[in-house]
Structures are given as structure tokens and as C-alpha cells.
Amino acid sequence: MRKHWIDNLRWVTVLLVLFYHVIYFYNNKGVFGGIGGFGDYPATPQYQDIVMYLLYPWFMPMLFLLAGVSARYALQRHSGKEWFSARTRKLLVPATIGLFVFHWMVGYFNTVVADRAGVFEGIPGVVKYGIMAVSGTGPLWFIQDLWLFSLLLLLVRKLDAKDRLWNACGKLNIVWIILLGVLFWVGEHTLVRNPRPESLDGLWNLYKPLFYLIPFLMGWFVFSHDEVQEKVKNAWIPLLACAVVSGIILVATTFGQDNTSPQYLGSPLNCLYGWLACLALMGWFSAKFDRTGKFAGYMTHSSFGLYIVHYLVVASLGYMMKLYTQLPPWAMYLILTVAVFTLSPLLYEVLHRIPFVRWCVFGEKGRK
């Protein structure tokens, strides 16, 4: 029997990612990426940036955790070979070939400022195209990580072939489940605290492979158990209350800092809030949203595609409004928010109806 709450939590989280990128694109807290804010902090606080502090600690770990749970369920129905082949088509194809078919357009806006400065002057067009394609990776780091974790999972299955560790994890009580948050903190400390500009440290901190591997494996070993899900479900109210309190304290004490820096992410309070938010939302959705309907069914089917295409809308429209209009900031936020939630579905619906493009950009084998 399908667990609709997992589907619902996944697509709701994806929608929050879309909204996060609207806020992030215009942030003035020093977070890498985007185009910058409408004044320097602290003279211009931009309190809308609070959204970043509330979402960033948990929403990507949540997606990896749910992916781990879903992998467990999928491998109960399919062989490892069948599953990994499907994962490769769904994840690796869009994250590689898709860069050259679609995401080079995102790369254009990521590199256009440098191009205006003459950085690409004299470089052949085909080379520029390659640079733009690679620069268009953007949010696709998520599915690149996920494909790598899927590969590692095949090894993990062999090491725990008799499910001894999995069975042991199913016996954890709610106290031990909460204490798993220590692994959250350990994972954040695998980041390079003082990244060197001339090195790949920045990419390591973007992809965070060791950190994100932890929630993925926790999904596989721990939260794929019905018993564990039930324990979190029964405790969702106190968990949510604790998450809200810790989130308020986190924002109140750290607003203005770069909330994506290794030092910030590795702080005990950030890790506590991020983990409690993951547990609380899993419990809440399990208790209250384990059902589906036409809209939920559509979002379950299309949320992956929305994630894939949405950043082109953010980057292109967000860039054009900031540089070429005199719109007030509130209007830019409003227009960009409406655009990302309307144009992204439209773009997805158009692209996934074109056979070759559908395969390249979404890893879809046939019409759905």
C-alpha cells in the first residue's frame, strides 16, 4: 500500500525549494549565488531573508531522507540491476546530457556578468557553450549526489545482505531517534570550514556528499520501518513545538549571518533545528496528510520535473528585472514568485511532451 504522506511531504518540500530560490536570488546576507539584494546588510535588513534561515537547515536533508526510504521500498519490488538502471536514466541523464540540452540556458545567466566584463572575449562559441552547460548545473547537484548515493547503496546492501543492521534500527525508540540528530551535527562537520578560492573546496561544500549521505542512509536503515514512522507520528505535536521554538531562537540569534557557511551549518543550534524539523514534518504529514487527490496526484508525478526546470525561470526573470527595470523590490518578489509557480509547470508540461527532450531533461522513457 502506497504511503501518500511520503509523496505529499516530498512535493511540498519541492515547492518550498522553489520559493526559497526566489528569496535566495535577491538575498543580501552573503550567500553565494543569486544576483544580490537591494542594499547592504545591516543598513537594509531584508527580513524576507528569514525564509532562508527557516528552510535551508532541513529541506534538502529531508529530500535525501525520503529518497532513502523510497529506495528501500523500491528494492523490495525490483532487482538491484533494474532499480539502478532506472535511477541512472532518471538522475544521471538529466544531470549530464540535460545540461547541454536545457540547462546551458541557466548557465548563460550564471555567466552573463562575467561575459559582460569581457572574460569570454575571444573564446570560441563552442567553448562558451560548454562552459555555460557546466555552469548550468545549479540545483542539479541534488540529483548528481542522489545518483552517487544510489550506486553506493548497492554496496551497502551487500554489506548488510541479511538486514541485521536494518532490523536493529527498527527497534529504536523515540529517544534514540531524536539522538540520531548527533549524526546530523557530525555530517555538517565534514565541510571545509575555510574553503580555498583556488581549490575545489567550494564544490565540496556545495555538494556536501558525506553530510547528505547520512540522511539518505537513515532513510534506508531507520525511517523505512513502519514502527519507526509510527513512533515519530505519535510524537509529532511535541516535535513540531520543539522545532518551532528552536527555529525562532536560531533566526533571532543568527539573522544577518551567511546561513550556508560551514561555521553556521555546523553550529549545534542549526543542527538541532534542522533535525527536529525533519522529524516533526515526517510525523505531522504521517498523521494528517496520508491521503491523495487529483492535485496531490499531479504534484507527486510532476514535482521532480518542476525541480528540474524551475531555476531557469528564477535566473532569467530575476536577472532581467533586477538589471533592466526600476520595479520596487516587493514587486520583483511578487512577480518572480508568481512566475516560478506558473511558468515552471507550463515549461515542464511542454518539455516532457517532446520525446527526445523528455528523455534528456527529465530522464523519462515514455509518455506518462
Q: Which residues contact 312 (CB under 8 A, 6 or more apart)?
A: 102, 103, 105, 106, 347
Q: Using one digit for the tens of pLDDT, what is the confidence trace for 182-208?
A: 999 999 999 999 999 888 999 999 999
Q: Using one digit for the tens of pLDDT, what is the confidence trace for 128-149?
A: 899 899 989 999 999 999 999 9
Q: What is each CA distance from 288 to 9, 80, 243, in whole angstroms?
A: 11, 33, 18
User: In this model, does residue 283 exceed pLDDT 90?
Assistant: yes
What's the CA gap between 52 and 75, in Å, rounded? 35
**Band of pLDDT at residue 118, cut at 50, 70 and 90:** low
As given in the structure block, the three cell numbers for residue 39 are 542594499
Q: Using one digit for the tens of pLDDT, what is the confidence trace for 24-49?
A: 999 999 998 889 999 999 999 999 99
What's the CA gap between 228 and 219, in Å, rounded? 11
Task: Tell me the percentage of the chain whose pLDDT exceeds 90.
Answer: 89
As given in the structure block, the three cell numbers for residue 357 are 527532450
Residues 269-281 as b/e (b if ≥16 CB within 10 A, e otherwise) read ebbbbbbbbbbbb
Q: Which residues contact 167 (CB under 8 A, 6 or more apart)?
A: none
| Mean of pLDDT values over 210-232 | 98
The pTM of this model reads 0.96
* Per-residue model confidence (pLDDT) at position 345: 97
As given in the structure block, the three cell numbers for residue 365 are 522513457
Q: Which residues contact 310 (CB under 8 A, 6 or more apart)?
A: 17, 18, 21, 139, 340, 344
Residues 166-190 as b/e (b if ≥16 CB within 10 A, e otherwise) read beebbebebeebbebbebbbebbeb
Is residue 225 within 8 A of residue 170, CB to CB? The reply is yes
| Mean of pLDDT values over 281-298 | 97
Task: Tell me the percentage of the chain whose pLDDT exceeds 70.
Answer: 97
3-state DSSP call for residue 117?
A: coil
